[in-house]
C-alpha cells in the first residue's frame, strides 16, 4: 500500500474526510467484494457442502457472509451519515427510497414472475398455470406481502423444498432469496439518521451518535437481546438488528468525527489485528466491529489507485447482493452444483454479475436520476412553493357579485 494515499503532500496524516473524499477511496471495490463474499458464504449451504468454514474458526461468532454484511452496514453508516449531513430530511429520505426500493421491488417481481415459473416448469409436477393460481404462498402474494422490505413470505409454492430433487437436507431450501432480510434493518438505520436530520446536521450531534453506538455495544455485551428474540419494549430490536445497527452507528460515528480522526498506517494495521484477534479469540461483537469499521476506512483510502476505479462509476454491489441467492437456488435446481464448488460458484458469480449489470443500468441508475425531482428539491423549495400558493390565494380579487 502506498503511504501517499493516507498522507498529504506535507507528510501529515490525512483526516478521514480528506482521505475518503469523492472517488479517492475504494468503497465501491470493497462493497462489491463483500457482496461476492455473501455469495461465497451461501454457496456452502445452498450447494450442499455444509456450513461456511470460517464459522468453525471464529467459534461460530461470524461467517464470511455475516462479516460481509457487517462491512456493508459499516460503510453504509459512513456514506448515509454523509448524505444526512448534506441534505434536509425530505431530500435525505427521498434519496434513500430511490436507492433501496426500486431495485428491491424489481428483484421481487423477477423472482416471482420469471424465476418462479421457470423452476416450476423444471419440476414438471403440476400444470404450469397452477403456479399463478396458488393461494397463500403464491407468486403475487410474495410480491405484495414483502413490498415494505419486511420479508413476511420467503417462499413461493415450496419451489425449493426438500421434496425437489437435489435440495434434500439443505438449509434455507424453501427461501427464494435469503439475502433480503437485511434490507429492512438497513432502512431502519436510515430512519434513525432521518431523526438526526430533524434536529440538525450530523456533525453537530456527533456525541449523540457515539452515545447510541455505546448503548448498542452495552446491549450486545449484556446479552439483553439473545438470538431469535425481540425486545418487549421495542419489538423490532432483535439480536440481528442490534448487531447491524451497531455496525451502522460505528460507521456513522466515524463520519461525524471524520474531520478530526486521521488515517494512519499504524492504526489501520492495529485495527486489522484487532479484527482477526477478536474473530479467533472472542469479543468480535463489541470490540471487533468498531475496529473493523476503522480498518475498512483505512483500507479504502490506502488501496492502490486501480482499486478506486472498480465499481466506482457504476455501483453493481447492490444488484450482486440482492440477486446472488436466487441465482444460486435456480442453478441448484438445474443441478449445476454437481460440477463442484468452485466451477458452480464461478458460474453463479458470472450470472449474478449480469443480473447486477441489468439492475443498475435499467432500474437503479434511472431511479437515481430522480434525486432532484419532487421531494428531492428539498424543504426550502416546497416551503417557497406553498407560501406562493398561499399568497396568490389570499391576494386574489373578490368575485364580482
Reference 324, options 30, 34, 28, 27; nearest CA is: 34
Query: C-alpha angle 159/161/164, rounded to 5°?
Result: 80
CA dihedral 208, 26, 71, 345 (to 10 degrees): 160
pLDDT of residue 397: 61
- DSSP symbol at 263: E
pLDDT tens digits, 18-57:
888 876 688 999 999 999 999 999 999 888 888 888 877 8
Label residue 117 exposed, middle or buried (CB < 10 Å: 0-12, 13-18, 19+): middle
Q: How many residues does the chain have?
A: 401
Return the number of other C-beta atoms located less than 10 Å from residue 372's C-beta: 13
Q: Are 128 and 116 in contact (CB under 8 A)?
A: no
pLDDT of residue 399: 55
Q: Are 250 and 286 in contact (CB under 8 A)?
A: no
* CA distance linking residue 22 with residue 313, whole number of Å: 11
Sign of the CA dihedral running 259, 265, 266, 271: positive
Does 233 have pLDDT greater than 90? no
Q: How confident is the model at residue 231 (pLDDT cuts 50, 70, 90)?
A: low
Label residue 333 exposed, middle or buried (CB < 10 Å: 0-12, 13-18, 19+): buried
The full set of domain ranges for the chain reads 3-385
Q: How confident is the model at residue 305 (pLDDT cuts 50, 70, 90)?
A: confident
Q: How confident is the model at residue 400 (pLDDT cuts 50, 70, 90)?
A: low
Cα distances from 207 to residues 82, 203, 211, 260, in angstroms, run: 16, 9, 6, 13
Euclidean distance between the first and the last CA atom of the chain, given in angstroms as a whole number = 82
* CA distance linking residue 275 with residue 34, whole number of Å: 16
* CA distance linking residue 40 with residue 253, whole number of Å: 30
Reduced to 3 states, what is the DSSP secondary structure of residue 164?
coil
pLDDT of residue 3: 44
Alpha carbon of residue 132 to chain centroid: 31
- Least confident range from 27-36, 201-210, 250-259, 340-349: namely 201-210
Q: Are 178 and 160 in contact (CB under 8 A)?
A: no
Reduced to 3 states, what is the DSSP secondary structure of residue 52?
coil
Query: C-alpha angle 376/72/44, rounded to 5°?
Result: 135
Percent of all residues in the chain with a pLDDT value above 90, rounded to a whole number: 51
Q: Are 15 and 260 in contact (CB under 8 A)?
A: yes
pLDDT of residue 379: 78
pLDDT tens digits, 99-132:
999 999 999 999 999 999 998 888 776 788 888 8
pLDDT tens digits, 77-88:
999 999 888 888
- Residue 330's contacts (CB-CB under 8 Å, 6 or more residues apart) are 115, 118, 119
Reduced to 3 states, what is the DSSP secondary structure of residue 14?
strand
Reduced to 3 states, what is the DSSP secondary structure of residue 13?
strand
Which three cell numbers, joined as nine digits, stand for 102?
A: 426500486
Q: How confident is the model at residue 1 (pLDDT cuts 50, 70, 90)?
A: very low
45 or 381, which is more confident? 45
Does 95 have pLDDT greater than 50? yes
Reference 59, options 380, 275, 278, 332; nearest CA is: 278
pLDDT of residue 121: 86
Amino acid at each position: 500500500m502506498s503511504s501517499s494515499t493516507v498522507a498529504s503532500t506535507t507528510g501529515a496524516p490525512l483526516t478521514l474526510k480528506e482521505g475518503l473524499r469523492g472517488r479517492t477511496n475504494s468503497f465501491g471495490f470493497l462493497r462489491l467484494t463483500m457482496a461476492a463474499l455473501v455469495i461465497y458464504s451461501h454457496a456452502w449451504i445452498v450447494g450442499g457442502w455444509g456450513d461456511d468454514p470460517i464459522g468453525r474458526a471464529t467459534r461460530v461468532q461470524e461467517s464470511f457472509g455475516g462479516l460481509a454484511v457487517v462491512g456493508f452496514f459499516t460503510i453504509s453508516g459512513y456514506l448515509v451519515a454523509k448524505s444526512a449531513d448534506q441534505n434536509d430530511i425530505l431530500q435525505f429520505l427521498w434519496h434513500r427510497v430511490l436507492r433501496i426500493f426500486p431495485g428491491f421491488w424489481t428483484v421481487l417481481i423477477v423472482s416471482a414472475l420469471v424465476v418462479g415459473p421457470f423452476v416450476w416448469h423444471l419440476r414438471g409436477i403440476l400444470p404450469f398455470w397452477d403456479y399463478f393460481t396458488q393461494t397463500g404462498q403464491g407468486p403475487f402474494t410474495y410480491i405484495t406481502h414483502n413490498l415494505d422490505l419486511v420479508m413476511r413470505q420467503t417462499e413461493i409454492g415450496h419451489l425449493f423444498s426438500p421434496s425437489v430433487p437435489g435440495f434434500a437436507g439443505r438449509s434455507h431450501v424453501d427461501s427464494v432469496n435469503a439475502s433480503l432480510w437485511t434490507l429492512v434493518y438497513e432502512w431502519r438505520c436510515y430512519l434513525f439518521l432521518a431523526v438526526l436530520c430533524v434536529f440538525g446536521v450530523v456533525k453537530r450531534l456527533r456525541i449523540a451518535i457515539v452515545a447510541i453506538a455505546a448503548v448498542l455495544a452495552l446491549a450486545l455485551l449484556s446479552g439483553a437481546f439473545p438470538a431469535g428474540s425481540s425486545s418487549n419494549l421495542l419489538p423490532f430490536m432483535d439480536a440481528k438488528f442490534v448487531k447491524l445497527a451497531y455496525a451502522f452507528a460505528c460507521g456513522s460515528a466515524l463520519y461525524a468525527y471524520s474531520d478530526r480522526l486521521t488515517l494512519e498506517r499504524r492504526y489501520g494495521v492495529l485495527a486489522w489485528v484487532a479484527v482477526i484477534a477478536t474473530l479467533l479469540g472472542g469479543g468480535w461483537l463489541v470490540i471487533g466491529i468498531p475496529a473493523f469499521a476503522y480498518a475498512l476506512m483505512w483500507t479504502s483510502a490506502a488501496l492502490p489507485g486501480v482499486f478506486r476505479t472498480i465499481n466506482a462509476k457504476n455501483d453493481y454491489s447492490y444488484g450482486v447482493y440482492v440477486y446472488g441467492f436466487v441465482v444460486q437456488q435456480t442453478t441448484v435446481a438445474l443441478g449445476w452444483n454437481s460440477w463442484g464448488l468452485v466451477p458452480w460458484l464461478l458460474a453463479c458469480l458470472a450470472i449474478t454479475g449480469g443480473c447486477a449489470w441489468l439492475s443498475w443500468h435499467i432500474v437503479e441508475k434511472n431511479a437515481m436520476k430522480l434525486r432532484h425531482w419532487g421531494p428531492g428539491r428539498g424543504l426550502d423549495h416546497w416551503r417557497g412553493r406553498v407560501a406562493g400558493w398561499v399568497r396568490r390565494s389570499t391576494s386574489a380579487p373578490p368575485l364580482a357579485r
